[in-house]
Each structure stands twice: as C-alpha cells, then as structure tokens.
Chains A and B, each alone.
Chain A
C-alpha cells in the first residue's frame, strides 16, 4: 500500500522511479533502507542504515521557462543539505543545472543559509531561468524538510 503511495506520488512529480532510487543510492550509498512518510501533499523518503538515520529525501518540481524541472533534495540527519539531483530536465536550454559543478554549491547548506543566486549560489550564464527556479525550489524543499524534522512531522 505504502509502496503504491510512493509510486503514485513520484509519478505525480514526473520522476521515473528508477531515477529516484538511483539518486538515493548515489547520495546515501548502497544498502540504505528507505521508507516513505507523508507530510501533507509531500512524500518524504526516510533513509536509514540499521538503527541510524542517514537523512531524508524529497522529489519536487519547479517550472523552468515552460517545462517542469524535476529534482530531488536530500538532507542528512542534522538537516544539512547532502545533495541535489536533477531527475528530469525538459527545457531546450539551461540543462547545465544538472552539472555536478553547479549542484555541489548546495552541499552542506542549511535552512538558515540564504540560497540566493548571485549571493551564495553562483549563476550560470545563459541558464538564468533554470538557475533561479531550481535554487528557489531547493531553498523551499530544504526549509520544509528541516522544519518537519524539527517539529517531529518526520523522524
């Protein structure tokens, strides 16, 4: 039942499940146990190994110029951003937001960081729309995950 909820939620975000699992495995390493938690309309993946919590991950989409950009945000057990993955990019330009060289700027950020283009996040010339959209999406997802974890909505 819960698995179908998970698949349903992911499909709604336009994320191929194989990509989500590959992303979670890349970020948290092999052998991690995943279970799904529901907070409002969001499905959060809780990632653990044995008794120790590794962190959380969530799939969301933001609009680029005209297409959704589907991305995954993963945090560690202390609510620091572990990594961002661009799961599906559909726009004709701006696909450079999927490059590790750009995404790695987000690692270690917390909900108290600004996460603002031109400030603590460098832009990519010629990819302004995607850079702004993804940065805003990551900022909101990180804030939500941290707030939910603090409040006990996810644990």
Chain B
C-alpha cells in the first residue's frame, strides 16, 4: 500500500505553491454551428408555399489561454446573397473576447447580444418551440439584436443563484424606427455604428433547477449625431424594460416574456423622419409545452413537445400627438404545434399560426414545417 503523502493541510500548502505554474485549458479552436430550414404555407389563394434555408450559422471559438477566449457566430440567412437580388444576408451575429477575471467575474468586449428576453441570447432552433422564432421576438424585441461594446458578466456573491450581465454598447438610430417593427430598424449590428449615443443594457437573473427568472433593460439616446433630434448623449432616449421566466418540470415546460419600450420624443422622430413609431411599444407572450412522448414510450430520452403559444403586442401601444394610431399593429398571435426532438440538439417542427389584429387588417393563418440543429 502506498503511504499517505500528507495530511490535507500540507497538501493544500504544497499544491498552492504549485499554482504559479500556468494552469488549465490549452490553446485550441472549436467549430460548431446551428441552422434551420423552413417550409411556410400561408392560407388563402395566390399565396404559394415557400421553402427557405432560413439560417446557417458557423460557430467559431478559440481559447488563447485558460482565461482568455474568443467566440463568434457567422450567419448566412436565406442561403445566398447575390448582387441585384433581394433577400439573403451574411452577418456576424456575435464576435467577442471573454477574459475570465475570476470565478465570479468575466470581462467581455466585442459584438455582443443585449441580454433582453429569452430568444435573443438563446436562439438555437432546438431551444425554442415553433418553426420560426416568436413574432414578438422580431417586432418587439429585435432578435437577433447585437451591438458593439464592453461589459461585465458574473454572479452575485451574496446569494447563490443570482447572476448579472451589464454592457455599455453603441446606441440605436431613431432614423430607422418604424410603426410595424418599432426599434428593430434602429439596430446598428456592428456595421460602422455611430457611437454618438452610448447605451446601457443589462440583466439580472435568478436560477434554480427547473426555473430561470430574469429582468432586463436597455437605456440610451438615439440621435445618432442628428442635431435636429438632439445634441445630448442621452437625447431621444429609448428605455426598455422586460421580464421573463422559464420553468421546466417533468414533461412540462412553460415560458413567458413581457416587455415595455418607451420611445421618448417619438413625435420629433416621426416629424423628422416621416415615420409613425409608437411612443410606447409593449406586449407579452406565454407558452406551454408538454412532452407527450414520455406518456407513450417509457424511459425514452427523445421528446415530442406539443405546445401552444399566445402572443399579444402592439408596436403602437401609445402614439405621440400628431401620429395616427393604426390598430392593425395591435397583434394577437396564437400558435399550436409539435416539436420532435430525437436528440436534445436536433428538432423536427410543425406549427399552425393564427394571426389577428385589433383592426382586422393583416390577419391570416400560416402552416409551417421545419428542421433545426445545433452542435
């Protein structure tokens, strides 16, 4: 039998002396990816179905040393980009450096995702139900929202389960706000972005097994240097507040998100740029899913989620004086569907969406089928 090398205290001292040696992960590169293909069939005559390679993303990460790593997502949307024809996009969805200062604190810089809602940060197709991302996560929270900045990510020491992210990033451009999609057009996405209005965005999150609850905000001016809109750093500010929750137990999965966005100076913005952006954009959605496969096949690790989601939002919840409110932007969308997941990172989806508006305009039903993967 080998003799005890030491009492633990002595081991501790001896091993501590060895921590001067460089530790941990070696320099390495990781490739991953995700993607999704959609079949979309709106109801009605003269609306033929369409198939589309909606997203193809290459995830590329490199570890320089144990505490310093780079991560990126390069995306091709709609399969192809060709000069002179519509559609298609090649874009960086994320590209940032992480420096792990300690177990509790990481510094992050680069093209980052504002930590707002659920889908903006966690957007791989197997992670959400429904073929397409929720419409709410397009028209209200402008997913995939990414801007350039610096920030800090970490856990709160006082109590287990609390974590935060806080970034200082470039601001939005009011010039491209719209009535139908709110602040979406104002994103700069890392492309020669003006830093006239730095913005703050952050999130506080509380996690237990099966439960994740978060609150997020975005605050910043939107003049983009247009002196007609304002000269101050925080002029024509957008203030966003959101809350979200995810709960899983057994075969049950629930999630919900609510957001309110205030666009101060919407009147000036609309006058200046000829748009009709709401002074308040707000809405919410809730989704319930149940894995029915566990009822049919005992002990299976595959899943078949049946889900229903209801979204209710209005990009003109309030309009400034002088702007006519279009109730067609007050949307109510109900989606029913199935997600079959042979593994946790692959999915076959089908759903049926019913879209209604307060004005009765822009309504319709859509059948969608899709496949998605991540690795």
Interface contact A123-B248, CB-CB below 8 Å: yes
Judged by DSSP, the binding face of A is mixed
CB within 8 Å for A101 and B209 given contacts A14-B25, A67-B69: yes
User: Number of residues in A with C-beta < 8 Å to the partner?
Assistant: 54
Interface contact A14-B23, CB-CB below 8 Å: yes
Select one of B8, B208, B301 contacting A33, CB under 8 A: B8
CA distance A92 to B113 in the complex (A): 12
CA distance A92 to B69 in the complex (A): 10
Chain B residues whose CB sits within 8 angstroms of the CB of A15 once the complex forms: 23
Mask: chain A, 86-130; 1 = CB below 8 Å from B; 0 = not = 001110110110011110010000000000111100111111100
Q: Is A40 an interface residue (CB 8 A)?
A: no
Chain A residues whose CB sits within 8 angstroms of the CB of B12 once the complex forms: 18, 21-22, 25
Which of A10, A100, A124 gathers most chain B CB within 10 Å? A124
CB-based nearest A residue for B253:
A125
Binding stretch for chain A, among B155-163, B225-233, B270-278: B155-163
CB-based nearest A residue for B98:
A92
Chain B residues whose CB sits within 8 angstroms of the CB of A14 once the complex forms: 23-25, 66
Minimum Cβ distance to chain B for residue A46 (Å)? 9
Chain B residues whose CB sits within 8 angstroms of the CB of A17 once the complex forms: 15-16, 18-19
Mask: chain A, 1-27; 1 = CB below 8 Å from B; 0 = not = 011001100110011111011101100
CB-based nearest A residue for B108:
A92
Select one of A10, A65, A92, A95 contacting B155, CB under 8 A: A95
Interface contact A66-B61, CB-CB below 8 Å: yes
Interface contact B69-A35, CB-CB below 8 Å: no
CB within 8 Å for A125 and B211 given contacts A14-B66, A21-B11, A32-B8: yes
Chain A residues whose CB sits within 8 angstroms of the CB of B14 once the complex forms: 3
Q: Is A143 an interface residue (CB 8 A)?
A: no
Select one of B15, B71, B160 contacting A99, CB under 8 A: B160
Select one of A3, A18, A88, A102 contacting B19, CB under 8 A: A18
CA distance A18 to B11 in the complex (A): 9
Chain B residues whose CB sits within 8 angstroms of the CB of A105 once the complex forms: 209
CA distance A35 to B11 in the complex (A): 9
Chain B residues whose CB sits within 8 angstroms of the CB of A10 once the complex forms: 15
CB-based nearest B residue for A125:
B246
Q: Scan residues 62-114 of chain B and give those whose CB is less than 8 A from a CB of chain A.
A: 63, 66, 69, 71, 98, 100, 103, 106, 108
Interface contact A20-B15, CB-CB below 8 Å: yes
CA distance A132 to B103 in the complex (A): 21
Interface contact A34-B4, CB-CB below 8 Å: yes
Minimum Cβ distance to chain B for residue A16 (Å)? 5
Interface contact A3-B127, CB-CB below 8 Å: no
Mask: chain A, 24-44; 1 = CB below 8 Å from B; 0 = not = 110000111111110000000
Interface contact B30-A66, CB-CB below 8 Å: yes
Interface contact A16-B8, CB-CB below 8 Å: no
CB within 8 Å for A24 and B8 given contacts A67-B69, A125-B247: yes
Chain B residues whose CB sits within 8 angstroms of the CB of A37 once the complex forms: 2
CA distance A56 to B103 in the complex (A): 25
CB-based nearest B residue for A20:
B15
Interface contact A35-B5, CB-CB below 8 Å: yes
Select one of B2, B103, B303, B344 contacting A89, CB under 8 A: B103
Interface contact B8-A34, CB-CB below 8 Å: yes
**Which 5 residue pairs are nearest across A and B when measured between Cβ atoms?**
A17-B15, A66-B30, A125-B246, A14-B24, A66-B61
A-B contact sample (13 more), CB < 8 A, given A34-B4, A99-B207: A3-B5, A3-B14, A11-B18, A14-B25, A17-B16, A17-B18, A32-B8, A66-B30, A90-B24, A90-B69, A125-B210, A126-B118, A126-B246
